[in-house]
Amino acid sequence: MIKKIFAFLLLIALAGVFLVVLQNYETPEELNLTAAYYAEHGAEEVGAANLVSAIVVTYRGLDTLGEVTILFLTASILSFFLKQREERGKRSVRASSELLRTASAVLVPFIFLLGAYVFINGHLSPGGGFQGGAIIASGLVLLLLTDPLRKVSSRLLARVESASGFIYVGLGIAGIFLAGGFLDSRVLPAGTFGTLLSAGLLPILYILIGLKVGTELSGLLTRFQEVQVPDGGDSPDLKKGENV
């Protein structure tokens, strides 16, 4: 009862806060200084049809590098803790249904294709490296759902991940010498606005980010796959494991 009253009071308080925020809200008449600069000069300086990508990868490229690093750290820390609990025994799992197997065989290639499309076209259309990488990892989730014991080469994943991260930073440093600064995309010529080969280094950087994020998330998922379900855990029937 007390809990409910408390929750109700909290709701009222929140409503009050949002009411104040709403009343003080004014629609901005014009872009602020930074945004106006991006909107005016972004297209000619970077040459990307997707202005958001231009900002994320070039103007704020350092922040993106930081985000990728955060993701990397998260994956490493998680895998460290998951490793600790790992007791490698043979997991017995129920065979997945024919429907799921068929569907994943049909869908997984298209999901990977879509992921690659999203990060290759990151400078032209909505999306980009992070989104494409997440789509690729979701394809891997489907694969693991279909066959939880599937062998995924974590060594390959780790190699692709570190190679793309390394090249990403390397190209960023190349920008210092060949163009205006770290992660400047004007190392390569700008190309024709709106085509696949445009915006200088931007598509290459986005492909690298996509590969890095995709392999990072996939590596994380395979770590979860390795964790043994404890005895008497949440799925009591898992031990029976006959093929149904």
Partner 1 sequence: MQIAHIIGGIVSIVGSLFLLLGALGIVRMPDAYNRIQAGTKATTLGTLLFLAGIGIAEPGWLPKLAVLILFILFTNPVSSHVLARAAHHIGIALTSRTVADKLREHEEAARD
Give me the residues that bind partner 1 (CB under 8 A), please.
94, 96-97, 99-100, 103, 106-107, 145, 234-237, 242-244
Task: Output the smallest distance, CB 149 to partner 1, in A.
Answer: 17
Task: Output the smallest distance, CB 242 to partner 1, in A.
Answer: 7
Chain mean position to CA 140 = 13
178 within 8 A of 187, measured Cβ to Cβ: yes
Chain mean position to CA 61 = 16
Q: How far apart are CA 161 and CA 169, in angstroms?
A: 12
Nearer to partner 1, 28 or 236 (CB): 236
Q: Which residues pair with 198 in a beta bridge?
A: 191
Nearer to partner 1, 71 or 107 (CB): 107
Nearer to partner 1, 141 or 169 (CB): 141
Task: Output the smallest distance, CB 159 to partner 1, in A.
Answer: 31
Rounded to a whole number of angstroms, the CA Rg of the chain reads 23
Task: Output the smallest distance, CB 46 to partner 1, in A.
Answer: 27
224 within 8 A of 82, measured Cβ to Cβ: yes
Task: Output the smallest distance, CB 107 to partner 1, in A.
Answer: 6
Q: How far apart are CA 176 and CA 111, in angstroms?
A: 36
Nearer to partner 1, 144 or 160 (CB): 144
- In sign, the C-alpha dihedral spanning 130, 136, 141, 144 is negative
169 within 8 A of 163, measured Cβ to Cβ: no
Nearer to partner 1, 145 or 156 (CB): 145
